[in-house]
Amino acid sequence: MWASASFYIKIVICLLIFIALLEVFWPTIIQEGFTGLVSVGDSPNWSSWAPRRGDVGIGVEEGGYDQDERYFRGYVDIQGFGVNHDFCRMVSKKGKDDLFFACALAGTENLSSVAYKTNNQNNGFRLSRDDYMRDITGKGKTSYCRILKINNDTFETRCNLADDKGFSIKTIEDTDPPDTIVQMLTFYTGIVFWLRFRDDMVDYAGNLKVSVAGKASIDEFPANPPIARALTFDGISQFLRVGDSPDMSLGSKSISLRSLRAFSFWIRFDEFTNNAHILDFGNGPGKDNIFIGIVGSGNPSMQEERPLLCGEVSTVPTGMSGAQPPPLMSPQELMLTTAANVNDFECHSQEIFPNPKGNHLTNTPKLAKSNPTSADMIYELWEQKQRRMRIKVPGAFKLSKWTHVVITTDNNDILRPPISVYINNKQVYNEPAGFLPQASSTYKNYIGKSNWASQNESMNNKDELFRGALFDLRGYKTSMSLNLINDTYNWGKANLGL
């Protein structure tokens, strides 16, 4: 009896060994019997025994955890099975702001989906929105990679390797990153500050601190939208103050103002508020300012500026023609009661002035109230209380339309470099001998607000806050090449859905 049982046990063991050998060397022979688990094609080894987890995935998370959709998430091969069945994503415990990267391994149904992970932020794990996954060792296991700041001037692609029980703590450089990451690395070269305003208000160069006024905010979830949200300003109370030090000064810690050689940003004006400044770094009104803004409240169209008719008013004389005596009115009364007062008067009908001789009426069309459709851009640089440079670009901005602006030096001259202005990827202005910032630091550094706004609050012509949207604001310590300008412009268009 026992001999018979032993015989059957040996038979079972032999069958198991035979099946194992088939799986290793001829997997397709027995693949059909496991199609209910996963579809693995010609993948070798034990991959067909490791189905994807059904309890986690895109938008589906283990209880007690939240996915942060702004980072990489998807199916990759962590275990080296040859198929992408391991689901990886960035998570945090509910109610905690302490992210870590974790993978729900294939074939571990009903086990923890966050056991295979990196360290969390509080334990030194460094985040980057420019992240991806790739097998950088060629061993079939995918590493978690991202662009990280190595020192004050250098950014590299660094990867946590996939080890047996989790991701390695130490990172190594990826020397052959994907093309999209290669392009992002060029954007980081020479960067001083980079506020993308895509779905956050973080400086991707890691230098600026941002303080918010008027509850300006940007929606962070759900992440990775097809079109960037951008940061909007209401023109009433919202603006940002930035600095690289706890006292919100700029230039005293990480950023050297004297090294700034280029600005780049996307801008949309929803209204041309008076003398709105897109950015204004300075020490008050007319002191060490570097600012970019608009002139006045925009420009009316030529038809509005010099109308031939007011409504359907005829220009055919109804009485005597030729030169006529002017009405007997003082200049002050004319200013208050005629079209000379362009601020208050609207074109409702004809203006009628009695002729002193009383033999006919002289009809004068009034100017229509202007509705600006464009605005001139100005870029000014002050050294202490002296304005050293003023560049004006007529009609640079169109109402309610996105505009890309680049202001850059053309070479590395440290004294008087030529400065060019690009609007929507086209050079529109060149200053042969420009100026660079000279202040070592500034303490009133605003985005969306003018340093002059507080000075003339009681005046009718006061500077007003910016009303519109801002996206992809950058400052560089190097000149922006034509290739970099082109790539920046195209990257912005793609993100804005233009």
- pLDDT one-digit tens code per residue, 19-64: 666 555 554 444 333 333 333 334 445 445 578 888 888 888 888 9
Higher pLDDT, 183 or 334: 183
The per-residue pLDDT for 151 is 83
* Amino acid at residue number 250: L
Is domain 190-299+372-496 annotated with CATH 2.60.120.200?
Answer: yes
**39-71 as b/e: b if 16+ CB within 10 A:** ebeebeeebbebbbbeebbeeebbeebbbbbbb
The per-residue pLDDT for 60 is 87
Confidence band, pLDDT 50/70/90 cuts, at residue 305: very low
The per-residue pLDDT for 359 is 42
Phi, psi of 418 (to 5 degrees): -65, 145
The per-residue pLDDT for 77 is 94
The per-residue pLDDT for 41 is 38
The per-residue pLDDT for 175 is 94
Confidence band, pLDDT 50/70/90 cuts, at residue 433: very high
Q: Which of 332-346, 441-455, 457-471 has the highest mean pLDDT?
A: 441-455
The per-residue pLDDT for 32 is 37
The per-residue pLDDT for 340 is 56
| Whole-number average pLDDT of the chain | 82
The per-residue pLDDT for 17 is 73
453 has pLDDT over 60: yes
Q: CA–CA separation, 105 vs 88, rounded Å?
A: 8
The per-residue pLDDT for 426 is 96
Neighbours of 336 (CB within 10 A): 13
Is domain 65-187 annotated with CATH 3.30.160?
Answer: no
Contact 89/75 with Cβ under 8 angstroms? no
251 has pLDDT over 90: no
Confidence band, pLDDT 50/70/90 cuts, at residue 338: low
Confidence band, pLDDT 50/70/90 cuts, at residue 415: confident
The per-residue pLDDT for 219 is 80
443 has pLDDT over 60: yes
Higher pLDDT, 384 or 352: 384
Higher pLDDT, 310 or 9: 9
Q: CA distances (Å), 355 to each of 117, 309, 329, 365, in order?
A: 90, 21, 11, 16
The per-residue pLDDT for 36 is 33
The per-residue pLDDT for 339 is 55
The per-residue pLDDT for 33 is 38
Phi, psi of 330 (to 5 degrees): -70, 155
Higher pLDDT, 158 or 457: 158
Segment among 1-10, 98-107, 210-219, 300-309 with least mean pLDDT:
300-309
Segment among 34-48, 156-170, 367-381 with least mean pLDDT:
34-48
Domains of the chain, by residue range, sit at 65-187, 190-299+372-496
Higher pLDDT, 4 or 150: 150
Give percent of the chain above pLDDT 90. Answer: 59
242 has pLDDT over 60: yes
Give percent of the chain above pLDDT 70. Answer: 76
Confidence band, pLDDT 50/70/90 cuts, at residue 108: confident
The per-residue pLDDT for 356 is 44
Mean pLDDT of the 383-396 span? 94
* Length, in residues, of the chain: 498
The per-residue pLDDT for 10 is 72
